[in-house]
Amino acid sequence: MTNDGAFRIIACDVSSAATKVVELQKSSGVEAQKLVEMLVASVLVRETTAPNRRVQMRLSQPSLPSDLLADTTGDGILRGLQRPGSGEEKTTVLQVTYSLRGGEMHQSIIDAPAEFSVQKLMMKYLQESEQIISVFRLHCHVTDVKTVATGYVVQLLPEAEREGIVAMTRHITEALDVSDNQLPWEFPAELIAKVADGHEYTLLSDEPIKFSCSCSRQRFILGIASLGRDEVENMAKEEESLETVCDGCGSVYNISPHEVLQLMDSRN
């Protein structure tokens, strides 16, 4: 945050986590690019609004055959998914879901023109749903050799004056609009200094982001149990284990229907 109270600057580099997500989802081309942008955007939105909560975002666009999902938590965990879309979208739709203090979930849906970029979509979401005026920048580049997944957001604070806002906007547009694969900084420390552009600032936090998945054997057992006793008993008659695969990380769990029945019996 700048010491004059005018701007709050948040930057992140999630290249390592994004590389893992792209690999696991077997993503390529435009979908890989958009998926990586969503991963970066989800972290920036979480850090801008409420750093300690979980934020999940889903993007649907007419030009994409898949829906793209990004999921990030307050302890620095990040994962992403690529799921088949409905194919019925005529506009760009962003769905943002996050947890509130009481445990209940809040959801916002932003509708935008079909050609809207993820970058523009995030600024629209922050302004309309969170009442936050910001400049949102994503610098993402996906190749067979390397995945770059970086970005930053500059939030205007109450102390910001018109002259300073104009100068900051010009600086970001002219000095920091670089090609995605030629970033002249080391993230995030050097970027924050470049964005601040001479403003004195205080670094409030520095937290690592890593890929991880919340799947577990117990979760899959509970999921199978939700099918109901009759269905699970029919599975048990086949005397074969069920092979389940996590969409997020590719982990494979072989689960016996009898194991599921035991859990159901213990809960009765």
For 133-176, what is each residue's pLDDT tens digit? 898 988 888 988 889 898 899 998 888 888 888 888 887 777 66
Specify the pLDDT at position 204. Answer: 86
Q: Does residue 127 sit in helix, strand or coil?
A: helix
Question: How far apart (Å, rounded) are the C-alpha atoms in residues 119 and 135?
Answer: 9
Contacting residues for 17 by C-beta, under 8 A, at least 6 apart = 39, 78, 79, 149, 209, 210, 211
Longest dimension (CA), the chain: 74
CATH architecture designation of domain 217-266 = Alpha-Beta Complex (3.90)
Q: How far apart are CA 126 and CA 135, in angstroms?
A: 10
**Measured in whole angstroms, how far is the alpha carbon of residue 147 from the centre of its chain?**
16
pLDDT greater than 50 at residue 180: no
Which residues face 137 on adjacent strands? 152
CATH architecture of 7-211: 3-Layer(bab) Sandwich (3.55)
The region, left, alpha or beta by phi > 0 then psi within -120 to 50, assigned to residue 121 is: alpha
**Average pLDDT over the chain, rounded to whole?**
87
CB distance 68 to 58 below 8 Å: yes
Q: Where are the domains of the chain?
A: 7-211, 217-266
Run of H or E including 169: helix 162-175
Tell me the one-letter amino acid at 181.
Answer: N
Continuous segment of H or E residues that includes residue 68: strand 66-72
For residue range 68-123, what is the model confidence (pLDDT) as tens digits?
999 999 999 999 999 887 777 788 999 999 887 777 888 999 999 988 999 999 99
pLDDT classification of 181: cutoffs 50, 70, 90: very low
